[in-house]
Amino acid sequence: MSRIGKKAIPVPSGVKVELSGLTLKISSGSSTLVHTINPIVKVDYDSSTNEINVMRDTSERFARAMHGTTRALIANMIQGVTQGYEKGMRLYGTGYGVKQEGADLLLSVGTAKPARVPVPQGVVVDIKTPNARGNDVPAEIFIKGADKQSVGQFAAVLRRVRPPEPYNGKGVRYADEVIKKKMGKAFASGGV
């Protein structure tokens, strides 16, 4: 039995759980998340104890894998609608910056034209510092949303626009990411 999968998921007050067939809908306030459950596992919502349980009938390898995965996904949904998820991003480099234009995010990362990245539905972008000042003061943005996968995927898309380079560290990186810098070429002193 999966150690994670067999744990019951407590549902906090104010969170509404709807289970119909293989579709699980969790909502709280204005946030609503929907997940289609794999038929190899069973999900049961007990309204008297306010808990969600994930079970499986077989001991196949895939069923064991989906047991813990399904439980983790449902727990992430509950955390997403109650607290939400946030990912910080930093842009390092002279002249680098970010601004929001309608439903798109424009990243100035040392190219001729700014990179235009569409912001997905359900994701909110908060720009704290729009422009970087050299390699010391980065431009900062925060990505927020109820769906953990959408927030992480959008952060990965932004990082892919200009990954940090290893010599000066310029580029788009996660707020908690540490870049191990390489040494440049060392020229020997002396005459020719």
pLDDT digits (tens, 9 = 90+) for 42-83: 999 998 999 999 999 888 999 999 999 999 999 999 999 999
More confident residue, 157 or 181: 157
CB 109 within 8 A of CB 171: yes
Residue 2's pLDDT band (boundaries 50, 70, 90)?
A: low
Q: What integer best gives the mean pLDDT of the chain?
A: 91
Residue 30's pLDDT band (boundaries 50, 70, 90)?
A: confident
CB 171 within 8 A of CB 162: yes
pLDDT of residue 29: 85
136 has pLDDT over 90: no
- What residue ranges define each of the domains in the chain, with the CATH number in brackets? 9-82 (3.90.930.12), 85-174 (3.90.930.12)
* Residue 179 main-chain phi, psi, to 5 deg: -100, 125
Question: For tokens 């949904």, what's the residue?
Answer: 77
